[in-house]
Structures are given as structure tokens and as C-alpha cells.
Amino acid sequence: MSSDRLPDTLIVGGGLGGLSAALCIARQGGTVNVLERSKSFAEVGAGIQLAPNATRILRRLGVLEMILPVAVLPRRLVLADAIESRELTSLDLTDFPARYGAPYLVLHRNDLLTALLERCAESGVGLHTDATVTELTDTGSGTVAACADGREFRAEIAIGADGLHSRIRRYFTDDEPVNSGFVAYRGAVPIDQVERHADLRDVVAWLGPGLHLVQYPLRSGQMYNQVAVFRSRAYLRGEADWGNPAELAEAFAGCSEHVRESLRTLSTVSRWPMLDRLPMPDWARGRVALLGDAAHPMLQYLAQGACQAIEDAAVLASTLTAAASTGRPLREGLADYAAIRAPHAMRVQRTARTWGEIWHVDGVAKQLRDELLLDRDVSDHKHVTWLYGERKESAP
């Protein structure tokens, strides 16, 4: 590789993280091909929260300006009691552009995907669908991705951005996803179909013993997103059909009228088990590296899964650019990327698990949690600045 250009790059996985990485690298002059196993680029789920650590990067990529018209900029993040229907604490989001350099927003996942696809196409990224990678080989001088349909793609480096159940992660470890025993039902419906909703200016998480419900508007307030999560007793008993709609109704039966009635508009067609993996520091080996959920899948309690993948993308492009400009080997650029990102992402993974435990406590622990939250100064940012603020990251 000459010292004046980024390497040709294969990205396995065309989700939010993979497309963000493709765009970051392409905007630095690299040639990128994205291999998506589905027949089209699409996102599963509905709403997504994007904190300033992600929206700062999306602004630099020219994506923020595309999604703002269809996004919602909420007034506050609110934690509330799902049983007693009272507010416990909140965080004002209106000063985030001044405090953290970019807004906190919520939007439909497909709206972000569409914007990333458009910017990738404009930047010359090769977008390939129905490309299921069955084998990825580091030849020493490059990488080769073999697809199920016989196609082969070659590049100087390859990035595994293929999600929680990543095939490329097997290149690094034989670990398996960890099941938390919680299950989620989620979806968005037109706002005029919603009988009960929280304040439409806020993102509200209703917390209860072993459960929570998150509510917020989408698409400029035209849709309403809800996510209901609960600990499955059937899972703990080892039953095959755990987390079903009947168990959902049973889990939320003791909640407030608002929470119970909110579930009437929640689709129960699909459910998602809540999975993550143990933190892993080594994401780069030779000419292959991991990104996003393939590297650091996390539980959803910090709303940081996509945000951390977008941070990965920006740092990856930066370390590759630094390696190219100095003529250093590609493997060193990838190793620098992992060394920079892994400590922070692993902290987010661990904190997300801890935060989930805090959300779902019962008994005396719940009483103590509620007292601490009620006494909290709502202007206190000490628990979020590390997550949302700018960090000067450098390789060790």
C-alpha cells in the first residue's frame, strides 16, 4: 500500500455500524465494499436514540442534516416508577448542543439507515446485497471473502460488522452470546392510534421490578415508539416457550394504569431476547478487525449500541489514515483502532449490565434506588459526561 491512500476495505455487514464505517473510510479517500447478507439493506426494530457522542460524528459525515427533519429532539430523559406512576428523576437535553457539541435525538432506525446509504452511494461505496460471507481469509497480503453464492471479494483489509451473531467474530474467539433472561417487545405506531402516552416532549423509561417500558415519539411526532422488557420466569424454569405474550401481560399486571393501557398498542408478533457477550479487548488480528455489535454487543440500558458503533467507525478511519500517512503496516492501524476503542466500549458494556440491574431491583433495593433518584440534583451530569462528552483518544 502506498503511503498516500487508505487501504481497499471489505466491510461484512450493512447495518448502521457497517455503513458508518464505510462512509468514514470513503470520505477519507478509501475504496470500500459493503457485503450485506440480506436481500436489501434494512434495519430491524423501530426507534433509536442517538446521543451527542454519535451525532457529533454524524454531523461531520453530513448525515445529521439529513435526519434532523424526521427526528425528534426530546426535552428530557425521564426515569419514572412503573408501579406508582411517579417521576423519579430526569436529565435536561435542551442544552446538549452547547454542553456536548451536538444534540440528543430520537428517530426511526430506517431513517438513519436510509441517510447512511445515500451518503455511502454518493461517496462511491460498493453496496452488495444477498452476499452471505461463509469464509473470510487473511492471506497475509490481503483478505478474501467467499460468499455462499460463489462470489469472492478481495481487499487489503476486512472489517466484521455483522452484529451480535457475527460469523467474523469466530476468527477471534469461540465465545457465545449471553442470555440475560429478559425479553423485549417493541414497535412504533401512528400517534393517532395511541390511546395512552407519556409527555410527548420526553423520552420516558418506566421502571418496575424485573421490567421496564420505554416510550418516545418518532418521525417529527407522527409515530410513537414503545419498548416493553421483562425478566422471564419461564426462562429461569428452563421452558422452551419463554417470554411469550401471555407472560408479558402477566409481568406487567401489577403496573400502573398508564403502563398497562400503553401495552394495548404494542405489537406482540415478534419478541427479542436480550443478549450480549462478555467484553473482549482484542478486536484486531492481522488484516481483520471487528466493529459495533460484532466487537462489543451490549444490553440496551444506556441506549448506546449504535452510538458506540458510530464511534468505532470514526476511530477506525482515523487510525487507518494515520497509518497510511506514515507508511506504517495496515495491521498496526487496525491494532491502534482496537487499542483505542476497546477500553471505552468494554466500560459501556459493563455499565449497561449494571444499569439494567439498577432499573429492575425490587424490595429494599428499589426503595433505596428510588430515594437516591428522587434526591438527585437534576442538573448533575457526573454519570453521563464520560459517555456523551468529547474524549481525546490515543493509542497506548
Which residue numbers are catalytic?
216
CA 145, 116, 305, 255 torsion: positive or negative?
Answer: negative
The CA distance from 38 to 42, in Å, is: 8
The residues, any chain, with a CB within 8 Å of residue 54's CB and separated by 6 or more, are 306, 307, 310, 311
| Residue owning grid cell 454519535 | 54
Quote the CA–CA distance of 28 and 186 in Å, as a whole number: 37
Q: Please state the length of the chain.
A: 396
The dihedrals phi and psi of 173, each to the nearest 5 degrees, come to -155, 160
C-alpha 127, offset from chain centre: 21
Q: What are phi and psi of 93, to 5 degrees?
A: -105, -10
Q: What is the 3-state secondary structure (H, E, C) of the chain?
A: CCCCCCCCEEEECCCHHHHHHHHHHHHCCCCEEEECCCCCCCCCCCEEEECHHHHHHHHHCCCHHHHHHHCECCCEEEEEECCCCCEEEEEECCCHHHHHCCCCEEEEHHHHHHHHHHHHHHCCCEEECCCCEEEEEECCCCEEEEECCCCEEEECEEEECCCCCCCHHHHCCCCCCEEEEEEEEEEEEEHHHCCCCCCCCEEEEEEECCEEEEEEEEHHHCEEEEEEEEECHHHHCCCCCCCCHHHHHHHCCCCCHHHHHHHHHCCCCCCEEEEECCCCCCCEECCEEECHHHCCCCCHHHCCHHHHHHHHHHHHHHHHHHHHHHCCCHHHHHHHHHHHHHHHHHHHHHHHHHHHHHHCCCHHHHHHHHHHHHHCCCCCCCCCHHHHCCCCCCCC
